[in-house]
Amino acid sequence: MDELVPGGNLPLPGGALTLGVPGPFDVSALVTDDSGKVRGDGDFVFYNQPAAPGARLSGQTLTVDPAALRAGASRVTVVVSPAEPGTPLGRLPAPTLRVTGPGGRLLARFTPSRPQRETVLLLAEIYRRGPTWKLRALGQGYADGLAGIARDFGVEVAEDTDTGAGLSTGPGIGPGPGSASGSASGSTSGPSPASGSGSGGIHGLHSTRRLHGTRGSAAASGATGTGSPTDGFLALVNAARAAVGSPAVVLDGRLSAAARAHAADMAAHGRLGSQGADGLSVHQRVTAGGYAYLTAGEHLVSGPRDAAEFVEYCLSGERTRRTVQDPAFTETGVACVPDNRSGTLYWTALWASPLTPGGLARTTAEVVALTNAERAAAGLPPLAGDPLLTRAAQAHSTDMVARAFYSHTSPDGSEPWHRAAAAGSTRRTIGENIACGQRSPAEVVRGWMDSPGHRANILKPAFTHLGVGFAGGGSAGTYWTQLFGA
């Protein structure tokens, strides 16, 4: 029997595994492929949906048969949360995971450091490496509950104006609205396996709230009138931006084309989501059209009959209004397409700031500055910028977008220290933080500092140098890499 520490892993025998967490906890699991996202509602196993192919939950015990998982599945992430929702894990004993194999043989036990204000914990993951399945201990905490975990793995948290908020799932649905979830990945140091990968979601950038009372013939007439329903959109949003001192945005044809493609997909399938039925996220549509961005956001809404109703809705909530008025955005695109069955209009508005070398340099420099501010507050010396680590970090962020994965381990098997060496670095100790979905340097550094594993890298006294990479696109929208060296 192995006593695991965070980042520790061990090969698994064939056959079904039983994972149990005794105590006042709920156990959940998310089945994903190499992208780190669920494929549909059947991939989320929790108390209201206790079974999926190859995974079954009974009370606090999860049974996983890797050979029976759905096609394409390469990872099962085990999640633990308090049985009493909203209770900080710091008020409870540290959860202990017990893993048994065929015949009831105890294979491993893992007790992470006791969480504090976190309300949910990525406890461990079962993952495929070539023909072998392995178990990796994680211990990564989230402060915004099971909904934050669900969003970050591609499960939509939908808000409904007449029923309130609820957790819902759907095939290919991307991250939903909410606040930043914090942690994004495991940390690595030296020639040891990375401690895993979670994901950070796009938050506060778009709305997927469905409007009621604007369906049927009224919506249909909005789509078939003498003008386009989008007429007046730009004037309305620029008036709202001027009211708070934000500069005007201009329409961009590439953003409008991506917005139309996404709205058409939602209308054809009668549902809102940041990922379409064709598997493309709204961010992938933007980059596929040749638009490279530094920051991006979106509104996805159904129901408004014209631009005035759409903009009024977007200004009605704090998060959605913040996107309309965000001074970082300089360009926009909008489209709406009717559902042929009901006439309901499905809207997509995209907001972006184009990527420039200067903008990228300012963004990564701000990450370095914020990281050094955290070190200074802890009485540690600053990290110096390192062009070779920067080159490797940038290449990894770009690669995660290009090859649609989210992990410390690249599809070719390379680890952070391999990438640093390939860039020409001779530093003996390497650490890495990754994140996806955060829309600003402040948000991503705050998320890393809220996660014990990432914070340990940022505040490691031995590290002396840092490189930062950023890329926009992919299913999550933004991908960040910190590469530390000593």
Q: How far apart are CA 237 and CA 24, in angstroms?
A: 49
Q: How confident is the model at residue 38 (pLDDT cuts 50, 70, 90)?
A: confident
Q: How far apart are CA 471 and CA 408, in angstroms?
A: 15
Q: How confident is the model at residue 262 (pLDDT cuts 50, 70, 90)?
A: very high
Greatest Cα pair distance, the chain, in angstroms, is 73
Q: How far apart are CA 454 and CA 432, in angstroms?
A: 8
pLDDT tens-place string over residues 289-338: 889 999 999 999 988 999 999 999 999 888 889 999 999 999 999 999 99
pLDDT(176) > 60: no
Percent of the chain with pLDDT over 70: 81
Give the per-residue pLDDT at 147: 65
Q: What count of residues does the chain have?
A: 486
Tokens for 181, please give them: 């979830």
Amino acid at residue number 467: G
pTM as predicted: 0.55
- The residue ranking higher by pLDDT, 215 or 105, is 105
Q: How far apart are CA 84 and CA 99, in angstroms?
A: 24
Q: How far apart are CA 455 and CA 149, in angstroms?
A: 19
H-run or E-run covering 108: strand 106-110
pLDDT tens-place string over residues 123-172: 899 998 888 899 988 887 766 566 666 666 766 544 333 322 222 222 22
Give the per-residue pLDDT at 252: 94
Q: Measure Cα distances from 306 to 224, 232, 310, 337, 347 in Å.
A: 11, 9, 6, 11, 10
Give the per-residue pLDDT at 158: 43
Tokens for 45, please give them: 């196993």
Judge contact between 288 and 432, C-beta under 8 A.
Answer: no
| Residue carrying structure tokens 């793995």 | 153
Give the per-residue pLDDT at 445: 95
Tokens for 356, please give them: 């420039």
Give the per-residue pLDDT at 156: 55
Helix (H, G, I), strand (E, B) or coil at 158: strand
Q: How far apart are CA 218 and CA 221, in angstroms?
A: 5
Helix (H, G, I), strand (E, B) or coil at 365: helix
Residue of 354, 325, 292 lying closest to 205 (CA atoms): 325
Residue of 457, 456, 464, 460 lying closest to 482 (CA atoms): 457
Give the per-residue pLDDT at 441: 94
Q: Strand runs (DSSP E) across 308-369, as ranges?
A: 331-338, 345-354
Mean pLDDT of 50-55: 90
Q: How far apart are CA 314 and CA 76, in angstroms?
A: 36
Give the per-residue pLDDT at 348: 96
H-run or E-run covering 282: helix 282-288
Residue of 480, 222, 229, 202 lying closest to 351 (CA atoms): 202
Judge contact between 186 and 149, C-beta under 8 A.
Answer: no
pLDDT(191) > 70: no
Q: How far apart are CA 143 and CA 121, in angstroms?
A: 9
Q: How confident is the model at residue 431 (pLDDT cuts 50, 70, 90)?
A: very high
